[in-house]
Amino acid sequence: MEKANALFWEVSWWEFLLVTAILAGGAAYLTGRAVARAWQSNLQLVYYIILLAAATRFIHFALFRGTLLSLHYYVVDFGVLLVIAFLGNRITRARQMATQYSFLYARAGLLGWKARG
């Protein structure tokens, strides 16, 4: 049953959940926040997530006997982490725009802002 969904996780689902979604996902969310707070570009965020995904693959390899140099699972980890990082970035950016430029913009939901008007 461990290899049932080998498309997304390599050894077991709880390893994927623990390492990729919770530990590295938390780091990706905080990285997205940090990039937004420093007003850096999304390209910078992608670069940071490339490095974080490589570190995540190393943790899978070192702790759970995963494959270190597996392009498929690297891309899966990278995709999951990138979505989480962009979510953290967008939430922070929406808060920034509504707070720092409150005379121009108002908050429009969790991820957006709209022009006052």
Q: What is the pLDDT of residue 1?
A: 39
Which residue pairs from 94-102 have beta carbons closer than 8 angstroms and sit at least 24 positions apart in sequence?
96/36, 96/37
For the stretch 86-99, pLDDT in tens is 999 999 999 999 99
What's the CA dihedral at 68, 17, 19, 81 to 10 degrees? 80
Q: What is the pLDDT of residue 65?
A: 87
For the stretch 3-47, pLDDT in tens is 545 777 777 888 989 999 999 999 999 999 999 999 999 999 999
Q: What does the pLDDT average to over 49-77?
A: 93
Q: What is the pLDDT of residue 5?
A: 55
